[in-house]
Amino acid sequence: MSDGRAASGPADILLVEDNPGDVRLTQEAFEEGKIHNELHVVKDGVAALDFLYQRGDNADAPRPDVVLLDLNLPRKNGDEVLAAIRDDPDLERLPVVVLTSSDAQEDVVRSYELQANAYLTKPVDPAEFIETVRSFQEFWLSVVRFPPDDCAEK
């Protein structure tokens, strides 16, 4: 992760999403955005952890600056991925934004209990979905400042 996106160039974003339509809409939103970022896509929770731990085919994967995480995933669901990230000292500070179709209050509460940084509900309308992703991009990748990687825990 970097200490500021605007000054340091494109961000690496890991999108964990199994729905091809939502992947396409997210890619479209990023392509239409004014900020160039690298969007890496994996389709399930196991693949997400392989990417984050640079296992197998992901040996050269970059450490993402932020994770966009769906909850309803095959093999390992989003809650399990989020819990694994927060339980690992090397990953625990990685910003994770839940981007899911669920607007169930229990999912919102559970995600924040697992220390998600934000919870976004995917709109059904494609234009609104794209606008939600653009808003994420503008806020998380232009406004928010991240601590440097070498920042010591206190």
Residue pLDDT, tens place only, 115-140: 999 999 998 888 888 888 888 888 88
Residue pLDDT, tens place only, 56-74: 999 999 999 999 999 999 9
Q: Please give the pLDDT value at position 149.
A: 60
**CA R_g for the chain:** 15
Judge whether 26 lies within some domain: yes
pTM for this prediction: 0.87
CATH number of domain containing 135 = 3.40.50.2300
Q: What are phi and psi of 68, to 5 degrees?
A: -100, 115
Judge whether 96 lies within some domain: yes
Judge whether 132 lies within some domain: yes
> Considering its fold, how many domains does the chain have in total?
1
Q: What sign has the CA pseudo-torsion 106, 109, 113, 114?
A: positive
Judge whether 150 lies within some domain: no
Top pLDDT among 30 and 49 is at: 49
- Whether 42 and 34 have beta carbons less than 8 Å apart is answered as no
Judge whether 151 lies within some domain: no
- Nearest partner of 139 among 6, 31, 32, judged by Cα: 6
Distance CA 81, CA 63 (A): 15
Q: Which range marks the domain in which residue 48 is found?
A: 5-143
For tokens 């494609």, name the residue: 126
Judge whether 148 lies within some domain: no
Q: Please give the pLDDT value at position 154.
A: 41
Judge whether 128 lies within some domain: yes
Judge whether 55 lies within some domain: yes
Residue 152 has pLDDT above 70, yes or no: no
Residue 102, burial from CB neighbour count under 10 angstroms (0-12, 13-18, 19+): middle
